[in-house]
Structure 1
């Protein structure tokens, strides 16, 4: 089999050749964005799910849909250590410059650019990472109080009025929202709430780990009424088979039924893992059809590739104490696990491990499905921890 023709695409946010099993969610977001454009009520959308379920891919596909529908968009990722104003400001500037090319919206877009100038100038002392080009002089009193909650509200209001005049909507696509500080999340929720109250065409479509609804609720109690939180999980067996079989069939290659079933079971339907297994199965097969022996060989190579990339990049960010905590979780199985059970494996008191657990939540490695429970945010990470820290001596390192 020619590796140059290999259709599978295991990568961070890389679009798969067949985006299977997500049509309903894509349609729901498309309808919501167009309702906002029409001045009708629609909730903002925050997709939540574990690593490897394709949230970033979905976010990009949704943005493409929105732009094809004539909407203005911005797309940002919220990395650790960056402020929300810093990541939003440059993208808002680009969106406003596009809106200013509309004759109907030019004056309002220029006023919003003045608001952005005041916003950046007033908040630069508090958020030193703000870097944005200034096209117009600030308008005194417009988004320049130096208070993020009030200034972001004024800025999004001004931007929403420009979008409304242009007959479009502004859709904010934000990935990795769980890394935004809760006080900044509160300011964003407040601003979106105000835009909704004034029926301005501004909407957020975001993505994050499963702890995000709790963070939003703590930021603002009314967040649950402002957002929908669709859970993006692994693909069902039919969609998982389609993700494997359709790209191969388009190139005249097929899988034996038991080979497909073996991959679906090994990957548990997680889209990233399906791409990894599909890639290696293609590369090891001599010819079509890809059979069970090919998959058995590919499984060893896929696990090794995941260990050196998908899993290892997360493992290397951990302190020794955090590694031991996750290894103790792995000793108990996939999870979720009670904090007391994890502490027992480590022969420690629950209270003494609370800071480690909190740090792991901040790093996006674990989350709490319910009070006192802890679960991995990365599928199959328990098996990886047992492979990379085998034996029993890890408890005394």
Structure 2
């Protein structure tokens, strides 16, 4: 098997050779983009799902669709160390100057640039790393209060009006949206409320962990009327096998049916893992067709690769107490996990584990599946924790469990 011709592409956001099983969400995005451009109200979309289900891939594909439908796009990834304003401002500047270059650009675009300068000037004391160099007088009294929840909707209304005047739309795409704080998420929700009220051609397409719907609902009670929250999960068996078999056949090779089934059962249909197994199985095979024996032999290679990269990167961000908490979860078997059961496994009171649990949620390692329950955000992480920490409880439990209120 020629490794150069390997069709699989494991990586963060790398497009798979076959985007199987996502037709429904892509059709929903197509309808959203078309209706908003036609001046008809439609809910924006916030994709939710665990790590490795392909949310970033879908955002990238939706951005391509948006551009083809006449939208100017802004694509950013949220993270813990940068504010919403700092992320958006440089991209909005680029977008407005792009609109300004269009023939017959009018006062709406110039006003948008002036309002953006007002917005940046008002928040600069809070966002010291923004310096976007707009050589135009700011528009006083618009988006310059310094209150993000008031200013961002005003700024995006002016931006959407400028795009509308040019016969264009604006699509703002944000990955990892759960990292924004409550005020930032509220500002985005309020902005989209304005868009619907005025039927302006600006849409928000985001992606985040499964906690996103509850975060949005806690921020604004009307969020459910502004957004759809498609759940992006593992692929069902037929689509998972298609995602493996069709790229191999398109490359002129073949794979046996029981080999495809073995990959599906091992990966549980998670798209990132399908790419990892497909990549290693192809490289491990001596010749076509790829057999189940080849898959079995390659599985050890894939597990080692995932342990050293995909899982280890997340594991290394954890404190010792956080690692022990996750190991206790994994010790209980498959999730979701009751917080009381985890506390019992650790031999401590539930209240003593509150800070550790909150920190793990903030880091995006676990999420609440229901009241008093939680689960890993990373598929198969429970098995990794058992491999990474084979002895549990740890050899020195008095150190590991030295928490206020511990039993």
TM-score (structure 1 length as normaliser)? 0.98
Query: Does structure 2 retain, via aligned residues, the 8 Å contact 1:84–1:184?
Result: yes
1:130 deviation in Å? 2.8
User: What is the SS of the residue equivalent to 1:7?
Assistant: coil
Is the aligned partner of 1:51 residue 2:47?
no
Alpha-carbon deviations, 1:291-320, whole Å to 9, x = none? 011001111111111101111110010000
Alpha-carbon deviations, 1:127-163, whole Å to 9, x = none? 2233423242211112111111111111001001011
Is the aligned partner of 1:386 residue 2:390?
no
1:167 deviation in Å? 1.1
Indicate the residue corresponding to 2:150 in structure 1. Answer: 150
Query: Does structure 2 retain, via aligned residues, the 8 Å contact 1:143–1:151?
Result: yes
Indicate the residue corresponding to 1:122 in structure 2. Answer: 122
Q: What are the equivalent positions in structure 2 for 1:75-224 lying under 5 Å apart?
A: 75-224=75-224
Query: Does structure 2 retain, via aligned residues, the 8 Å contact 1:161–1:200?
Result: yes
Indicate the residue corresponding to 2:287 in structure 1. Answer: 287
Query: Does structure 2 retain, via aligned residues, the 8 Å contact 1:99–1:106?
Result: no
Alpha-carbon deviations, 1:266-289, whole Å to 9, x = none? 000000000000011001100000
1:104 deviation in Å? 4.9
Which segments of 5 or more consecutive residues in structure 1 lack a partner in the other structure?
none
Which segments of 5 or more consecutive residues in structure 2 lack a partner in the other structure?
401-407
Q: Select between 120-129 and 67-76 the one with higher mean Cα deviation.
A: 120-129
Query: Does structure 2 retain, via aligned residues, the 8 Å contact 1:83–1:129?
Result: no
TM-score (structure 2 length as normaliser)? 0.96
User: What is the SS of the residue equivalent to 2:127?
Assistant: coil
Query: Does structure 2 retain, via aligned residues, the 8 Å contact 1:100–1:107?
Result: no
Distance 2:43 2:101 in 1: 29
Is the aligned partner of 1:349 residue 2:349?
yes
- Structure 1 residues 149 and 301 mapped into 2: Cα distance closer, same or farther (>3 Å)? same
Indicate the residue corresponding to 1:330 in structure 2. Answer: 330
Distance 2:352 2:384 in 1: 25
1:375 deviation in Å? 0.5
1:105 deviation in Å? 4.2
User: What is the SS of the residue equivalent to 2:207?
Assistant: strand
